[in-house]
Amino acid sequence: QVQLVQSGAELKKPGASVKVSCKASGYTFTNFHLHWVRQAPGQGLEWMGGINPGGGSTTYSQKFQGRIAMTRDTSTSTAYMELSSLSSEDTAVYYCGKVSEASIWYSLIDSWGQGTLVAVSS
Amino acid sequence: QSVLTQPPSASGIPGQTVTISCSGGSSNIGSNYVYWYRQYPGTAPKVVIYKTYQRPSGVPDRFSGSKSGTSASLAISGLRSEDEADYYCASWEDSLRGPVFGGGTKLTVL
């Protein structure tokens, strides 16, 4: 069965960077795009960007352009999301998610990782 | 301010049918699939409807999705206590080249 296992919780200081990993199993990693979505405490879901694990191409929400980078390692079926210049407003649970249809950008998430809490505090 | 509009809350009694609406525009719901997610407190979202009408295996047929124009709905029939959760709609947004979400609806089973 599809599994997405994310790295553990992080505590960061303002101005620092964080890198969250998402290890996939149970399907062909390179066939399905992966998106990253975050959820601030008590808030809704916010899309951050996505990656095509096959070719490595990415698309980012304009809100995060310039301080976000998504990468992948096909040898370990792992995707990464790095966010820099953190502020308290970046405190949130970060989720990775695999889309439901192979090889197309305009598909949405059908399987989610368990989430990674990133707390930003001085 | 979410791109897709959902009522913040909904409620029903056990056995009743509850419908949650999701309103968007021509560049999202009007031209793309709609997904619905259920989220219990402290856990990751889980898809209950994908590609507007489809139910994943393991999701009971009490859950159904529909769409008309730029609006979509999630109906839950035979309401049960375990249906109490937050529900989010989502659709692809052509102008963003990414998904957009509703603000979420907190469903209470009275």
Cβ separation of B44 and A112 shorter than 8 Å?
Answer: yes
Cβ separation of A109 and B51 shorter than 8 Å?
Answer: no
State pLDDT tens for residues A59-72: 999 999 999 999 99
Using an 8 Å CB-CB cutoff, list chain A residues near B44. 95, 112-115
Q: How far apart are CA A104 and CA A86, in angstroms?
A: 31
Residue of B47, B54, B87, B96 to mutate, interface with A, max A Cβ within 10 Å: B47
β A45-51/A109-112 pair status: unpaired
Cβ separation of B44 and A106 shorter than 8 Å?
Answer: no
Identity of the residue numbered B59? V
Taking the C-alpha atoms of A70, A73, A78 and A82 in order, what is their torsion angle to the nearest 10 degrees?
-30
Cβ separation of A61 and B2 shorter than 8 Å?
Answer: no
DSSP state of B55: P
- Share the mean pLDDT of chain B: 97
Per-residue confidence band for A14, with pLDDT thresholds at 50, 70 and 90 = very high
Facing residue for B44 by CB, picked from A35, A110, A115: A115
A89 SS3 class: helix
Facing residue for B88 by CB, picked from A44, A107, A115: A44
The Cβ of residue A27 has, within 10 Å, a number of other Cβ atoms equal to: 16
Percent of chain B clearing pLDDT 90 (strictly above)? 98
Q: How far apart are CA A53 and CA B59, in angstroms?
A: 28
pLDDT at site A105: 86
pLDDT at site A104: 86
Within 13 A of A22's CA, how many CA atoms are on the CB side?
Answer: 30
Contact B104/A at CB under 8 A:
yes
Q: What is the pLDDT averaged over residues B45-70?
A: 97
Per-residue confidence band for A103, with pLDDT thresholds at 50, 70 and 90 = confident
Q: What is the pLDDT averaged over residues A25-44?
A: 97
Closest CA to A22 of A119, A109, A122: A109
pLDDT at site B1: 82
Facing residue for B50 by CB, picked from A45, A95, A100: A100
Q: What is the pLDDT averaged over residues B80-97?
A: 96
